[in-house]
Amino acid sequence: MTPAAFDVVVPTVGRPSLPRLLGALAGAAGPLPGRVVLVDDRRDAGTPLLAAEPPPRVAPRLRVVASGGRGPAAARNRGWRETDAPWVAFLDDDVVPTRDWLARLAADLAPLGPDAGASQGRVRVPPPLGRRRTDWERHVQGLERARWATADMAYRREALARVGGFDERFARAYREDADLGLRVAAAGFRLVAGTRRVRHPARPAGAWASVRLQRGNADDALMRARHGRDWRVRAGAPAGRLPRHLATTAAGIVAVAGAVAGTTAVAAAGGAAWLAGTAELAWARIAPGPRTPREVATMLATSVLLPPVASFHHGAGVVRWGAARRHARPAPPAAVLLDRDGTLVVDVPGSRDPARVALVPGAPAAVERLRRAGVALAVVSNQAGVAAGAVTPAELAAIHRRIEDLLGPLGPWMVCPHAPEDACACRKPAPGLLLAAAAALGVPPERCAVIGDTGADVAAARAAGARAILVPNAVTRREEIARAPETAPDLPTAVDRLLGAGPA
């Protein structure tokens, strides 16, 4: 195990706890990560993420990237694709690693063989002083028993690449970690428990936090669609109260319907059942708590709302995800940006003859599959031969017409004609070509995927915030392959992966 054998990714919305986390990492004994990637997931990232300079021990390794406020799953995907270490350790921005966390993480990962895809840390939620936990604090305490919680979870890069990372349809910090764990296990990897520890203080929450949490019932519907009826058992998730919430809500509906219809007996029976269900829920939440007047009042008020709100979100999730295929993959990207030489066509250095254009094996079928899936296309290509005089713009255009004769329309062609020493903003690994292609297609860069054959393609994708799949060939360097977040043996396999038709 070398000091750079793991990187750390922290999705954040700029909570005040973030500097404390960075300070704990800087003060922890053990090998430092190769990179610490902070993923700024604020919708409006107009202000600096950090108000003060990060600790000197961490600062040289720190990188801040933005994910556009699309939720923790998308933020973690943005983050791990910025890294290149064999392992990626995910931390929440409100945890505090212990002073030996880095050393224990290294010790947890060192003995793991290639069949191990993940290592889970231990989360401790400290109790309040002098009183019992509130309902919200008991909810946070559930992290101590949660399986695969990304509050502290390290994944092998190969495992993340094989399953395509986090499913970004989970827009909240709920179930995206269990979904990933189930998919990594289904891919044949072991998920093991480590010895490292973090503290996760229960941050303050408003009186209606428990009502807002009921949105997670829609995510549970997606979990069932993806993983089957027994997903809770396999993910170690508690059964929850949804059946009782549905029964209580149904009783309330019966009571109202009976009253409207003037059927007193039906209204009374429904009302009694609703009252019993609501009272049972309220007491189940009040009894283990501090029972202060404020807590009791909050539990009474929210217990009236929880059953119908939970039922509504459950129904919305069933409607939205009920037709989802079991073990369905994340949605394909909105656009795929393709490198030219070595990716679409066989690289013939210095060629200016359209007759010498030869497609890579499987290119026609792969490109057609993307079109049929409704994925927009563009080509992004460095062509320094123009600057060197090896090929004229007219000859380059003729080659591109020949490629489209063979493959059909490929969308906008974004070409950098500059030499490397020109230090332009468009030549890969700079992101200029990719950003221009995304703008021309009307697609956010983070909804794009890049397929290329060099480290420059991968670096440009990272800089633009896009997903990258490297398809190595004879000229791809070994270190480029090792650093790539995802690789595929050929273009058809890369397309399969993006469309969710093959092993992810």
* Contact present, 8 and 37 (Cβ < 8 Å): yes
Q: How far apart are CA 306 and CA 298, in angstroms?
A: 12
| 341 noted as active-site residue | yes
Burial-class residue 312 by CB neighbours within 10 Å (0-12, 13-18, 19+). middle
Q: How far apart are CA 137 and CA 117, in angstroms?
A: 31
Residue in 339, 347, 422, 453 annotated catalytic: 339
> What's the token pair of residue 280?
């049972």
Strands 413-416 and 376-382: parallel
Strands 116-124 and 152-156: antiparallel
DSSP label at residue 341: B
Q: How far apart are CA 178 and CA 167, in angstroms?
A: 11
Phi, psi of 337 (to 5 degrees): -105, 120
Q: How far apart are CA 308 and CA 328, in angstroms?
A: 29
Strand locations in 41-157 (E): 62-66, 87-91, 96-97, 116-124, 152-156
| 453 noted as active-site residue | no
Q: How far apart are CA 227 and CA 39, in angstroms?
A: 28
Cα 3 to its chain centre, rounded Å, is: 25
H-type alpha helices, 87-189: 101-109, 135-141, 157-163, 176-186
Q: How far apart are CA 461 and CA 332, in angstroms?
A: 16
Q: How far apart are CA 353 and CA 345, in angstroms?
A: 13
Residue in 341, 353, 405, 490 annotated catalytic: 341
Question: What one-character-per-residue DSSP string does 142-165 give?
Answer: GGGT-TT-TTEEEEEHHHHHHHTS
Buried b vs exposed e over 436-475: b needs ≥16 C-beta within 10 Å?
bbbeebebbbbbbbbbbbbbbbbbbbbbbbbbbbbbbeee
Active site residues per annotation: 339, 341
